[in-house]
Structure 1
Amino acid sequence: MAQSQGWVRRYAKAFFKGFFVAVPVAVTFLDRVACVARVEGASMQPSLNPGGSQSSDVVLLNHWKMRNFEVQRGDIVSLV
């Protein structure tokens, strides 16, 4: 019984150590580099969501290009 508790304790310690490293890295990546968003509704038709309100598209929002002012004519810009 003592050995199984030691294994669980080591597993939990390794899990939380990895969790507390991975969460800040993931949040920083999503905030500074890129994130995924859903486009719903008719606001971007016909370029995005051509099927109407029943379907939705998934897009990658590239924060890096906006931060470095690399936006060009024809790019879609999303404002929050």
Structure 2
Amino acid sequence: HIAFHENNRWCYGVNEKDYSVTFYEFDAKQGKLTPRQILPTLPDTYTGDGWASGIVLSPDGKHVVVSNRKHD
């Protein structure tokens, strides 16, 4: 899943199999996503299995919310 910011310059993609979220810059003219940051969706201390799933942006565009299957 991905979520585009309303400014149409930023995009967030959930990476289901590796429990992470990638922040991208979006170039609408070229239709190109450039990855800028990858963050985990699980705590460092978690050793079980699971998968990242849904992703949404808050209405004000200030927060990215990701859900995980099994962990939470």
Structure-2-length-normalised TM-score: 0.28
| Structure ranking higher in helix proportion | 1
| Structure ranking higher in strand proportion | 2
